[in-house]
Chains A and B, each alone.
Chain A
């Protein structure tokens, strides 16, 4: 749209056309009729009628003492050039203020109406947009519902994260994230089939509805992990634990279903929900495989623990692991008949780290072989040194982890070790956990037989913790049975118990297997074993583990 301003004197002679420099002093001639000027809110609006153009042009006229100022609205270039040519012949008719109800009134009204209609249309569109946005929000909610896990109808991971985030954004409160993991689920799937496994997950999810909390709990599922988001002060872990314990112990499957719970109390809601969940998962890892502990809470040291675990390879290089020896004694004569090699991690940063804090991790991460080989080497070193120092030649028992048994070069490694340190293989006793046998009896038996052929001495560690039957005991190539300390902790005065232990000892003797009692902590326990005919033991109360160097004196 183009606007031009025409300045006229009171005789309607054009003095100036602004924006378009046209010659001054053009006279309005007979072709211009200013049909009317009407007062409208102090502005004077006029219409110039140009007969030869058959056009009526709206103008706004400002009246000054000596001249008029005309604003031409919406002027096209051609029209303006018309003005340039014809101004000198245009004529002006004095406007009549009485002439009110002409078309012009309607034109002003129409302009006004058009403005209002535009406003109306804009607002209507605005409202439609709002409606559309609302629809989108609703659709999003539907998508959220769809984001539910089809099996359990709980949230999928992503949806769980999103909803937790929303809750955290909306409410200022302390919350917990809990993860419950059903353990050994693969076994359930393998034994009973995937359908039964899925049924278990589905039914457990359904049973969660029965937990009466009277408050909102967000629940998600990922594989065998159930995620919970709940207000901290509800102490939900206790409720969840009790419920799960009752539920799984009564679950109609001929297998014991175990579960673990990891809890993270959200202290820092600026971190991503994924990270919060991984903290709860970290706590969960801590109790994984643990016999008695089912719930773990995240704390900072746990986090540090994780970092620490990843430094194990460096720690080996740094010689942060030290060999400790626990004497094995003849309970009758108190004579040292051998040692068990134990590992201690002395970190320059965190001090002494007990084995149960890093061994399970290394086993899980398949990094135990590296550490074990280091310890085996150290043990051989001690054997060699004791030989050089002409100390009594007694065997050292070293631990062989379950995973180690699957290392292809295992037998070779032992053969090379005795060669390298020039020691008698019978002095190297290999301790293998009972559950390693149980896991894969054929494989383990074949490896162990090979080791026996090479004159290594085999001990079965932690006997009694697994549930191997006594018949499997007869099939297994073992030289010594280490009775788990469980046998000593249990009521040693109960007649039945005494009979069981007695039976095992006798059976072992019949099978030509030696028996050693582990973790003897009291004189009473020591006498108990002696009375049943077990003469070998590791006694804490007078023969504590010592650094290997202690036994080089």
Chain B
């Protein structure tokens, strides 16, 4: 998202604050390390602005905790305490920069958000248990599948998916309870430094290939004469969720038009015009893209007031029911839930 000159000035100022405060160590860094620090600063402020524009403090608080957890794994030679201080200080530099560069009326709101971020990290550190591990009813299937992926046993992983279907696990369950859950766990494992990034990439690619195996089965369902158009709007590049949605719908007999990731607005509108779908679904994984999504939802509804629009995706977890403020017809927490609601809405 391009927020204009003010945003750029703030990023530069925040980087400068941190650089000046740590002149000695920063001077010894390779230029590319400095580039990464600069980029991360920009990334953090991006979340701040998203929270500010959407008026969703959860965007920044959730991100703050995520960032702290990630830094624990990146800064391996630092203690937890040192890492905590490093992250909190980083937030302080941003607050400093806000005070230096941002106009008075906006300043306060931004600073409140940054402080809420800091508090969230501290609350998180003070909690005894960070997360309660939830057992899935397909726990064994998930474990077997993940083991295959981690052993890079491609053949076995592909076989397992077919095997689950033959065992009678419904495709919707397979997608939502096994594959989506596996992907969530893989993301978490990377986040906590348990697996490397290339392993994460490998698992994602492998899972997509595994899903593509099921196409012949999915497409052979009896047709319902209903069409869903699905896309990841704006700059959203995470398309696994959207793909699951269209597959689950195809399996139920819907026809799908799948536009994929990072679909520009004009293209999305043109495609709606051409295909006249019964339902448009937009999937957002990263909170930064919610602003784009919000804009496009309003545009679609303005142009096609009768067209049913649905939204969903991980990004909404970082908001306090943001979707309630939008003129949408369906919000769903997963593909299975989405299908259920869509069939209810469109008279199945």
Contacts and interface: CB of A to CB of B under 8 A. Distances in A.
B202 interface: yes
B216 A127 contact: yes
Nearest to B197: A100
Nearest to B201: A40
B215 A124 contact: yes
A130 B219 CA distance: 10
Contacts of A123: 212, 215-216, 219
Contact of B36 (A99, A117, A130): A99
Among the interface residues B33, B197, B215, which one has the most CB atoms of the partner chain A within 10 A? B215
A109 B204 contact: yes
A116 B212 contact: yes
Interface residues of A, number: 28
Given A112-B205, A116-B212, A117-B258, A96 B237 contact: no
Contacts of B20: none
B261 interface: yes
Nearest to A99: B36
Contacts of B262: 110
A106 B212 CA distance: 20
Among the interface residues A98, A110, A112, A113, which one has the most CB atoms of the partner chain B within 10 A? A113
A220 B198 CA distance: 71
B237 A39 contact: no
A131 B222 CA distance: 10
A105 interface: yes
Contacts of A112: 205, 208
B201 A105 contact: yes
Contacts of B243: 116, 120
Contact of A113 (B32, B33, B208, B215): B208
Interface of A, helix, strand, loop or mixed by DSSP: helix
B209 interface: yes
B223 interface: yes
A99 B32 contact: yes
A375 to B, nearest CB: 76
A276 to B, nearest CB: 39
B119 interface: no
Contact of B197 (A101, A113, A119): A101
Given A99-B36, A110-B237, A120 B258 contact: yes
A235 interface: no
Nearest to B235: A106
Interface string B86-103: 000000000000000000
B215 A119 contact: yes
A127 B220 contact: yes
Contacts of B30: 96
Contacts of B223: 131
B297 to A, nearest CB: 23
B239 interface: yes
Interface in B191-223: 197-198, 201-202, 204-205, 208-209, 212, 215-216, 219-220, 223
B231 to A, nearest CB: 12
A145 interface: no
Contacts of B32: 93, 96, 98-99
Interface residues of B, number: 28
Interface string B240-263: 000100000010000010101110
A321 to B, nearest CB: 72
Interface in B10-43: 30, 32-33, 35-36
B215 A120 contact: yes
A41 interface: yes
A105 B243 CA distance: 19
A108 interface: yes
Contacts of B219: 123-124, 126-127
A124 B217 CA distance: 11
A330 B163 CA distance: 102
Nearest to A125: B219
B212 A119 contact: yes
B115 to A, nearest CB: 27
Interface string A183-206: 000000000000000000000000
Contacts of A131: 223
Contacts of A38: 198
Contacts of B216: 123, 126-127
A511 B65 CA distance: 134
A116 B197 contact: no
A125 to B, nearest CB: 9
Interface in A370-402: none
A114 B262 CA distance: 12
A152 B256 CA distance: 46
30 contacts: A40-B201, A41-B198, A93-B32, A96-B30, A96-B32, A96-B36, A98-B33, A98-B36, A99-B36, A101-B197, A105-B197, A105-B201, A108-B201, A109-B201, A109-B237, A110-B237, A110-B262, A112-B205, A112-B208, A113-B239, A116-B212, A117-B258, A119-B215, A120-B212, A120-B215, A120-B243, A120-B258, A126-B216, A127-B216, A127-B219
Interface of A: 38-41, 93, 96, 98-101, 105-106, 108-110, 112-114, 116-117, 119-120, 123-124, 126-127, 130-131
Interface of B: 30, 32-33, 35-36, 197-198, 201-202, 204-205, 208-209, 212, 215-216, 219-220, 223, 237, 239, 243, 250, 256, 258, 260-262
Given A98-B32, A98-B36, A114-B260, 17 more contacts: A38-B198, A39-B198, A41-B198, A41-B202, A96-B36, A106-B237, A109-B204, A109-B205, A110-B262, A113-B239, A116-B208, A116-B209, A117-B258, A120-B258, A123-B215, A124-B250, A130-B220
